[in-house]
Amino acid sequence: CNGDLMGSDAGYMRSEVEVLVRLSRCDYIPPQSFQARDRGVSPVGFQYEKACIEDRLTFELRSIGLFVETTVPALDDKEEDVIIHEISQLERRLHQQIGKKKAWLTKINKAAVKEGKDLQRDPPEQVAMDKLVELAYRKLL
C-alpha cells in the first residue's frame, strides 16, 4: 500500500485511525484539517474528549473486555453487623500481637543493653573471671 487508503476518504480514515492510536497513548490532539473538514461529523475522538473522566474510564475498561457494574448491591443490616464484628475481632487480635511483640522486643533490648554495659565496664576476660568466681562460690555453699 502506498499510503493512500481509499481515494478521497483516505484522509478521514487515516485521521480516524490516528485518533484511536493517540487515544490509546493519551496524547490526542486533533489535527486542524480534520476539525475544519468534518465539523458536521461527530468522530470518536471528539466524543471521547468531551466525556467526563468516569465515562472515559468506563470506555477504556470496556475496550479491554472489562465490564464495570454501575450499581453496588446493598448489604443487609445483619451482614453488615457480621462484617463489622469480624473486623473488630481481627483488629483486637492484631493489637494483642503487637503488644506481645513490643514486650518481647523491650525484653530483648533490655538484655542487650545490660550485656553491652557489662562488656563496656570490664574487659571480657574480667567478666569471664567474675562469672567463674561466682560459680565456684555457689558450689562451696
pLDDT single digits (tens) 21-48: 566 555 545 555 444 444 554 556 667 7
Give the pLDDT of residue 55.
Answer: 82
Domain ranges of the chain: 7-63, 77-140
d(CA 95, CA 89): 10
pTM, two decimals, is 0.33
What is the overall mean pLDDT for the chain? 73
Instruction: Let me know: does 19 contact 43? Beta carbons within 8 Å.
Output: yes
d(CA 13, CA 6): 8
pLDDT over 90, % of the chain = 18
Instruction: Let me know: does 133 contact 125? Beta carbons within 8 Å.
Output: no
